[in-house]
Amino acid sequence: MNSKIIISTVLAALLAAGTVSAEGLLHLSWKPDYDAVKYDVTFSRQDQGKMAGTWKTTAYMSDMLLPENGQFKDLQELYWQEKPLDFDGYPIGAESSSRPLESSVTPVSRNAPLPRPDRSGERGGALLYPVYSYIGNPGASSYEIEVLSAYPENTEGTAPSMYHIGGGDFLYTDFYDDTPRFGTWYWRVRGKDEEGNPVGQWSLPQKRQFSTEGYTIGLFGDSITHGGGRMSYGPNDLEYSYGHYLDFDTINLGDSGNTSHDMVERFDRDVLPFHLKYLLILGGSNSLRGGVPAEEVIRDLQEIQQKCRDHGIVPILLTLPPINPSSIDKVFHEPTAEGWEEAFRKVNAFIRTQPHIDTAAAFLYDNLMPEHLALDGLHGDVEAKKRMADMINRHIGEFVK
């Protein structure tokens, strides 16, 4: 199964913000803890300085949209605090102090999901396969995303635009676009209830721009390259991208869920338009853990190498970081093929005979990725991505002159 869908499946309907409709909304945010998988958020009401009731909710990111009515009507009486939790729901840090809710929220006049900021201009943020991230609006249990070729003629309501070119329905709050996007386009999102009825209206469109010009070095791979980790974070959360920690600019050509064969198949379409000089290649983990023989993955890598050379691109293979089948099963409920360790060893042994950077050498744990570096056993978290970037930074000068 595609890893980007697996991650979203784990989150399930817990990302729905609530069941109270709202005219106006309140945006509540706090400093993220990148070791947290989720947060326990407690709200309390005080009457003349005395506690008059509390209630809790779970947030999978460090912000949320609240309705401006119902429980949140009288803001001056409300307080809140948050506590970071691990995958199993245990605290990993102290609960924050209780703070007045009124001074902690920002009013949002539009009853719609709130698009997260576009980080494509930051280092490591240029994604060939875009991901559209948003905060769900209260009452929504699923979402419709619309990708547009131009600014929509209708910014109010819920009707589709005449400029519709993509998108779809989704249960969660990171929508992975299956189409590589070039040029200028827009996207927007609206909420739906359990019966598929509209909840609020479309968000205001967010503009995206992407050029094939100006890039020298590309990152080519699967979800490890595309970005994300710690179960709750996607490619837009650049702290979980090794490209974000590199000392040089790159274009991220990763596509979550890819096998090594997928990478061969899309090479001409996705790599050649950029006229790159160097390509960092990290692929094969999904193939090997799914039972594809090491020899087949090696042939795929050799074909990618040859395609690079045929077009004047210097191929730089990256060794495969270890995985942890126990963690993969715990988070994804997915088995790992028997003999995976030997298969990884064979592929990495081949890579080490080629022009390469040994990113796997950053993880010396008897071939198992420790849980504190990759909660799900596959996608490295912040520290793991930093280690990979450090290895690349130290050795890229051997290739780039």
At CA 187, angle to CA 249 and CA 266, rounded to 5? Answer: 55
CATH (residue range 217-398): 3.40.50.1110
Nearest CA to 219 out of 311, 296, 349, 129 is that of: 129
| CATH code assigned to 114-210 | 2.60.40
The answer for residues whose C-beta is within 8 angstroms of residue 30's C-beta and 6 or more apart is 39, 62, 63, 82, 96
- Give the residue extent of every domain in the chain: 26-108, 114-210, 217-398
Q: Does domain 26-108 have CATH number 3.30.70?
A: no
Q: What is the largest CA-CA distance in the chain?
A: 76
C-alpha distances (whole Å) from 360 to each of 67, 216, 356, 365 are 47, 24, 11, 10
Backbone angles phi, psi at 76, to 5 degrees: -65, -15
Q: What kind and span of H or E run contains 223?
A: helix 223-226
Give me 170's structure tokens. Answer: 């989704």
**Fold equal for 26-108 and 114-210:** yes
Q: What is the pLDDT along the chain (401 residues), one digit of tens a residue?
A: 444 433 333 333 333 433 344 468 999 999 999 999 999 999 998 876 666 689 999 999 999 999 988 788 888 889 999 999 999 999 999 999 999 999 999 999 999 999 999 999 999 999 999 999 999 999 999 999 999 999 999 999 999 999 999 999 999 899 999 999 999 999 999 999 999 999 999 999 999 999 999 999 999 999 999 999 988 899 999 999 999 999 999 999 999 999 999 999 999 999 999 999 999 999 999 999 999 999 999 999 999 999 999 999 999 999 999 999 999 999 999 999 999 999 999 999 999 999 999 999 999 766 799 999 999 999 999 999 999 999 999 999 999 98
SS3 161: coil
